[in-house]
Amino acid sequence: MNDMKNLSTVLTEKRLSRRSVLNLSAGAAGGLMLGFTIGAPSSAMAARGDFEPNAYITIKPNGRITILAKNPEVGQGSKTSLPMIIAEELDAAWSDVDVEMAPLNPALYGMQWAAGSSGTPQNWTSHRQAGATARAMLVEAAARQWGGVPAAACTTRDSTVFHDASQRSATYGALATQAARLPVPDVKMLKLKERSEFRLLGKRIGGVDNDAIVTGKPLFGIDTQLPGMLYAAYEKCPAVGGRVVSANLDEIRAMPGVKDVFVVEGQPSLLRPGIAIVADSTWNAFRAKAALQVKWDESKASQDDWEALSAKARELSKNPKGEKVVVTSEGIDAAFAGAATKVKAFYSYPFLSHANLEPQNCTVVRTGNKLEMWAPTQMGGPIKGPFEHLSLYGFVSKLLGIPEEDITVHQIRGGGGFGRRGFNDYAVEAAVIAWRTNAPVKLTWTREDDMRNDHYRAGGFHALEGGLDDKGKLVAFRNHFISFNIAGDYGVAFGPRTDKTPVVGGDMNASEFPAPLLAHAEITQTLLPLATTCGAWRAPGSNVFAFAVQGFMHELAVAGKRDHVEFLLEILGAPRWIKEGSPGAIHTRRAADVIKLAAEKAGWGLQLPPGRALGLAFYFSHMAHIAEVAEVSMEKGNKIRVHKVTVAADVGPIINLSGAENQVQGSVIDGLSAMNQALNIENGRIQQGNFDQYEILRMPDAPTEVDVHFIESEFAPTGLGEPALPPIAPAVANAVFTLTGRRMRSMPFKDAVRDLV
């Protein structure tokens, strides 16, 4: 009871970023368990008494250390890197560590999501405190065991406490039970390691799931198996907003293996109307789905048409100013009037699908009025605040009329996310189907379902204008951004929605490059109505803004007869923060350093093999400063060949060097793939359905090398899953111009290069 009273006292004290450390219990079998709670009432934590399996750290007397990974794993490596942060401050030998997924529990873990490259920056301090707290308690236990040895005289290394003066040592396993009985130290008294003391962070550590992945062990959502499980498919109107009028349900019901087929009315937001089929196998469910003959009411369905939208955007671009002024400078018109050289350009890019390798799926079982769900989701936990409307718990609760506490979601590894699995429409469909079915049900989407019912990267358009003085310096810049607002019933917005709410990735803010760096800059935007659903797509907004703006920066450098590197460095100016403390807080020295490093490592200005050229681009997104140089040639048939990509990144300290390199290399490959992809929309329908029409970069077309260099600056760590993607497309486009003298201002590049000579 004394320990529990102490626990309550500790939890009521104010903690950094509202994070508190708690010693959960020694447990009946002995050992030490530790975890965090974020904003949870201390009395509730103390009253529980029993140990729960949502602590971050468990140390058993046999020396095994279990560290729980709190966030979903969708290939970004957080299941390895976040536990590494804890293990570093714990001074644990990585070979002693077992990593498991944490349950979804916001009272203990706060937000558990994979979104916005936020995992590392949001958890850096709290995870270090978790490891340091455990280490301090283990050291104190050793000091007491050794008869009053000062804790300050002890050191730790490889899951062991040492007292060099007496040449004594004790493993964490041997100390765990005694350590669990000690009061938890005040987090303000903890001494975190200096970066020079890191032994684990910055090393190459293989992913904790690597063995299971390469040996094909069941690991992903689609691998989920439950006794007596049935299999489901779901057919929706090919145009968003269509509803079922009639269908050949009796015919489908009579097909082999079909257990049930029924109409789902749907609700605005995530649950689109459709027809559910339940069968004894995925094959039979898919066969029955293919045989459906549905008459749809499309009176309120999407009529979106890409060609018509593009024509409208081109007409709107003739006006240099959009409907909404995002930011403008006094004297902007005078600055353009006085410019020695003026450059105008119109850039465009199409809609894209996420194209996750693992199609959307979810397994659900109903027991009475309770649901248990196994979902490869990026956003599975209960959510409060601005993202509450995306909560899987909240939507299923409202839809089925059951309390959130009667819903259990298990976060399962996803085969690719890129933002798609942050929208839980597939899981909601599975919940509705299971609610009617007296058996576990696994819903699986076909590839065509996945591509034609995505939350897409929005297409867009930029009418750009720049003014240069007689020395080629940029003195005026204007960007009229033309995008889309949510016009249908099923669009998803980040935050409150109005009649003019932009689609995800369809909004531009005042911190977009290079506006905050110039005395005279203007960004405006015009939105066109769109019913097609859009969502977060790896580095939302940035992934396409970079193509337009950084391509145009190269146009301006060429027009001013300036070296591209020199031109960008001049725009950045003296070392300083721009909008420090905000998500758009670019640091000009960090930006300049990655530009110079990428150029140096790529051999900027040196002789290249005949027929090759370099292109450079820089971009800042998700708090990361990244520059990339592409080495390019043109093959027969005007095919772009990217031989090598050099990347320089400043994301603060590197957690897992192997994972960090993988994230950058994967982003480059993904970006090279995306620059040749496009979805066409006709009469509200996505025309592409599979990889024969929507090509993924193949191995023979990948660069021979993606050379990655990190500047481990003194700043706090930032995200890395997304920000390395935006610079690659403009880097390639700029290289193609240097090689051919022709400019590519539209994607996909494979179409744009047809006009090159």
Is 19 in contact with 38 (CB distance < 8 Å)?
yes
* pLDDT for the residue 33: 62
Last residue of a domain, one of 422, 444, 466: 444
- Residue by residue, DSSP assigns 591-626 as HHHHHHHHHHHHTTTS---TTEEEEEEEEEETTEEE
Report how far Cα 530 is from the mean position of its chain's Cα atoms.
Answer: 24
- Report the distance separating Cα 36 and Cα 10, nearest Å: 12
Q: Are residues 434 and 490 in the same domain?
A: no
Residue 427 has pLDDT above 70, yes or no: yes
Phi, psi at residue 554, to the nearest 5°? -70, -40
DSSP annotation of 359 reads: P
Residue 600: which pLDDT band, with cuts at 50, 70 and 90?
very high
Phi, psi at residue 79, to the nearest 5°? -65, -20
- Report the distance separating Cα 718 and Cα 443, nearest Å: 36
The verdict on residue 125 lying in a domain is yes
- Bridge partner list, 101: 69
Q: Are residues 290 and 326 in the same domain?
A: no
User: What CATH number did the domain enclosing 244 receive?
Assistant: 3.90.1170.50
Residue 116: which pLDDT band, with cuts at 50, 70 and 90?
confident
What mean pLDDT value characterizes the chain? 91
- Report the distance separating Cα 81 and Cα 132, nearest Å: 17
Instruction: Give the dihedral sign, CA 164/165/170/172.
Output: negative
- Report the distance separating Cα 569 and Cα 600, nearest Å: 14
The verdict on residue 535 lying in a domain is yes
Pairwise pLDDT comparison (638 vs 2), residue with the higher score: 638
The three-point CA angle 639-643-646 to 5° equals: 130
Structural domains in the chain (count): 4
Q: Are residues 655 and 556 in the same domain?
A: yes
Q: 494-498, 501-505, 680-684, 688-692: which has the minimum mean pLDDT?
A: 494-498
For residues 229-246, average pLDDT: 98
Q: Which of 260, 122, 10 is nearest to 721 (CA)?
A: 122
Percent of the chain surpassing pLDDT 90 = 82
- Report the distance separating Cα 58 and Cα 61, nearest Å: 10
Pairwise pLDDT comparison (167 vs 381), residue with the higher score: 167
DSSP annotation of 142 reads: H
- Report the distance separating Cα 388 and Cα 393, nearest Å: 9
Q: Which of 579, 577, 517, 513 is nearest to 730 (CA)?
A: 513
Neighbours of 447 (CB within 10 A): 14
Task: Give per-residue pLDDT as tens, 41-90.
Answer: 233 323 322 212 226 999 999 999 999 999 999 999 999 999 999 999 99
* pLDDT for the residue 235: 98
Q: Are residues 376 and 328 in the same domain?
A: no
Could you tell me the CA-to-CA distances from 655 to 168, 179, 201, 558 in Å, in that order?
Answer: 32, 28, 5, 39
Q: Are residues 281 and 381 in the same domain?
A: no
* pLDDT for the residue 25: 36
Q: Which of 531, 540, 600, 538 is nearest to 565 (CA)?
A: 600
Residue 752 has pLDDT above 90, yes or no: no
Phi, psi at residue 709, to the nearest 5°? -130, 130
* Pairing of β 97-101 and β 65-69: parallel
* pLDDT for the residue 32: 64
The verdict on residue 220 lying in a domain is no
For residues 589-614, average pLDDT: 97
Q: Are residues 52 and 148 in the same domain?
A: yes
Residue 231 has pLDDT above 60, yes or no: yes
SS3 content of the chain, % helix, strand, coil (to 5): 35, 25, 40
Q: Are residues 516 and 646 in the same domain?
A: yes
- Unique residue bearing structure tokens 């797509």: 537
Range of the domain at 381: 360-444
Residue 171 has pLDDT above 70, yes or no: yes
* pLDDT for the residue 30: 56
Task: Give per-residue pLDDT as tens, 324-367.
Answer: 999 999 999 999 999 999 999 999 999 999 999 999 999 999 99
Residues 6+ apart with CB under 8 A from 631: 602, 608, 612, 613, 614, 642, 643, 644, 645, 646, 735
Q: Are residues 541 and 680 in the same domain?
A: yes
- Report the distance separating Cα 527 and Cα 545, nearest Å: 16
Pairwise pLDDT comparison (395 vs 39), residue with the higher score: 395
Q: Which of 378, 390, 381 is nearest to 73 (CA)?
A: 378
- Bridge partner list, 347: 462
The alpha carbon torsion through 144, 150, 153, 158 (nearest 10 deg) reads 20
Q: Are residues 6 and 87 in the same domain?
A: yes
* pLDDT for the residue 7: 25
Q: Are residues 292 and 175 in the same domain?
A: no
Q: Are residues 59 and 127 in the same domain?
A: yes
The two three-digit tokens of residue 556, written as one number:
């301006």
Residue 754: which pLDDT band, with cuts at 50, 70 and 90?
confident
The verdict on residue 607 lying in a domain is yes
The verdict on residue 451 lying in a domain is no
The verdict on residue 340 lying in a domain is yes
User: What CATH number did the domain enclosing 422 receive?
Assistant: 3.30.365.10
Neighbours of 698 (CB within 10 A): 8
- Helix H, strand E, coil C: the string for 204-216 is CCCCCCHHHHHCC
- Residue by residue, DSSP assigns 254-306 as TSTTEEEEEEE--BTTTB--EEEEEESSHHHHHHHHHT--EEEE-TTS----H
The verdict on residue 226 lying in a domain is no
Phi, psi at residue 259, to the nearest 5°? -100, -30
The verdict on residue 450 lying in a domain is no
Q: Are residues 250 and 376 in the same domain?
A: no
